[in-house]
Amino acid sequence: MALTGVHLEFGATNVGYGESTLPFALAMTQSMASAGTSSANPNNAVTLLSISASAPIFFAIGPSPDATNGPRRYMDPANGRADLFVNPGDKVAWILA
């Protein structure tokens, strides 16, 4: 089935000295077919968030994110997924661009 909307992956990371940050220990995934706000980051530490979308979107991250009024970021799925670090309890809000 093709992705419709946005898919989020919250996972712990392995940060080494001089090495790439690699995701592991997936804590939560969430697929959202329509614009809205995700569940909170379930980890108690800074977490790697991967965002995949089926169409260009605006998104915001934080304890009370607002993708309509910002501050927000733009993502075009033609450029691949977005990988970002988020704080404990952060959520993702998104709308179509």
> What pLDDT, in 10s, does the model give residues 37-89?
999 998 887 888 999 999 999 999 999 999 999 899 999 999 999 999 899 99
Domain assignment present for 1: no
Per-residue confidence (pLDDT) for residue 24, from 0 to 100: 65
Count structural domains, the chain. Answer: 1
Per-residue confidence (pLDDT) for residue 47, from 0 to 100: 85
| pLDDT confidence bin for 15, thresholds 50/70/90 | low
Residue positions counted in the chain: 97
Residues 6 or more apart whose CB falls under 8 angstroms from that of 21 comprise 13, 14, 15, 48
Q: How far is CA 41 from CA 14, 23, 36, 70, 77, in A?
A: 17, 15, 15, 19, 22
Paired tokens of 55: 């169409």
Q: Is the pLDDT of residue 1 over 80?
A: no
- Domain, as residue range, for 85: 6-96
In angstroms, the first-to-last Cα distance of the chain is 23
Domain assignment present for 80: yes
Stated pTM of the model: 0.86
